[in-house]
Amino acid sequence: MAMADPLRATMTDGLGRRISYLRISVTDRCDLRCRYCMAERMQFLPKNQVLTLEEIALLADLFIARGIDKIRLTGGEPLVRRDIGDLVRRIGRHLGQGLRELTLTTNGTRLTDHAEMLAEAGVRRINVSLDSLNADRFAHVTRGGKLDQVLAGLDAARAAGLAVKINMVALKGVNEDEILPMLRWCDTQGFDLTLIETMPLGETGEDRTDHYLPLTLVADRIDAQHALTPVADRTGGPARYHAVDGLNIRLGLIMPLTRNFCADCNRVRMTCEGKIFMCLGHEDHVDFKAALRNDGIQAVQPLIDRALRLKPAAHDFRIGTGERAATHRHMSVTGG
């Protein structure tokens, strides 16, 4: 699809923010049940409500033509989607031709089977969610996950030449004692680390207030052991990065509750149903699926413009006793 400059210039929201980053959830399904993300018993979407891989690819083509230059594939767990390699390769053909980067967030359980495919398709770096290096604690947080499976996946990613960033949700009373050890372990492995505050999305059966750990406090604890120096590096997302004294690692901090990052938001999210959510913390969305299936890809063009106009100034995340989740949908539905 031609990369027409007039179209590319239109990917600006109603507040003047340039939108260049699309996160695509390819499935709401996952082989883990992380306590901060999902309920233990989930009701997943029936197959006919989920976009086909061809439909996802067509929408990705259109967004790239409109000026999106970074796409992240997410889930659920994207690597549980059957024939996911076909989609990765299809989108990867745009690299160097409008698309600057194609990347993926995964829980790592399927990387032993897919790491080489990702690298061959043009993926150069991935984010892997990992909240504990203790096998029993990992099983608790994920409701049954096997740590060895993820570690094997990380070895496969390294062998395939993929750069890895570990994503760790900081949970008070659960894994806060592992944050410094995780930082040092990542240094030995050649991985970067990003810490994330828990976000009030969906009802998970857990009280997030009990486990909310402000990253301002965490940063102070790290700084007491390894001085942190802010760096200008950006990877397109909300993380703010720091050099860590004594370690050859970049530490990212994503702080939706203690330091709002919405002013320079450059992202929209598409669910596996074809719904565009302009903000992770709002329910407002624009549905592409019916237009695509009834009238074809050309009918989606004005819906992109509508989504851009509707993008809010900021999320409305709040956490505390008695506070309800910001949205009814789980993190796994929108794609982290």
List the binding residues for [4Fe-4S] cluster: 30, 34, 37, 262, 265, 279
Tell me the pLDDT tens digit for each residue of 142-197.
999 999 999 999 999 999 999 999 999 999 999 999 999 999 999 999 999 999 98
Q: Structure tokens of 291?
A: 């237009």
How far CA 44 is from CA of 72, 181, 225, 275, in Å, comes to 22, 35, 44, 16
Confidence at residue 234, expressed as pLDDT on a 0 to 100 scale: 79
The residue ranges of the chain whose pLDDT is under 50 are 1-6, 8-9, 320-327, 329
Confidence at residue 2, expressed as pLDDT on a 0 to 100 scale: 43
Confidence at residue 255, expressed as pLDDT on a 0 to 100 scale: 85
Confidence at residue 311, expressed as pLDDT on a 0 to 100 scale: 82
Confidence at residue 295, expressed as pLDDT on a 0 to 100 scale: 97
**Phi, psi for 84 (deg, rounded to 5):** -60, -30
Whole-prediction pTM value?
0.87
Confidence at residue 239, expressed as pLDDT on a 0 to 100 scale: 87
List the binding residues: 23, 30, 34, 36-37, 72, 76, 105, 129, 165, 199, 262, 265, 267-269, 279
Confidence at residue 238, expressed as pLDDT on a 0 to 100 scale: 80
Sort strands 267-270 and 275-277 into parallel, antiparallel or unpaired: antiparallel
Confidence at residue 326, expressed as pLDDT on a 0 to 100 scale: 45
List of residues 6+ apart from 235 with CB closer than 8 A: 252
List the binding residues for GTP: 23, 72, 105, 165, 267-269
Rounded CA separation 294/94 (Å): 26
List the binding residues for S-adenosyl-L-methionine: 36, 76, 129, 199
Sorted by where each starts, the structural domains of the chain and their CATH numbers stand as 5-334 (3.20.20.70)
Per-residue b or e along 93-117, where b marks 16 or more CB atoms closer than 10 Å to that residue's CB: ebbeebbebbbbbbbbbbbbebbbb
Confidence at residue 64, expressed as pLDDT on a 0 to 100 scale: 97
Confidence at residue 170, expressed as pLDDT on a 0 to 100 scale: 94
E runs forming strands in the chain: 21-25, 70-74, 101-106, 125-129, 163-170, 192-197, 228-230, 240-244, 250-254, 267-270, 275-277, 285-287
Confidence at residue 147, expressed as pLDDT on a 0 to 100 scale: 98
Confidence at residue 35, expressed as pLDDT on a 0 to 100 scale: 86
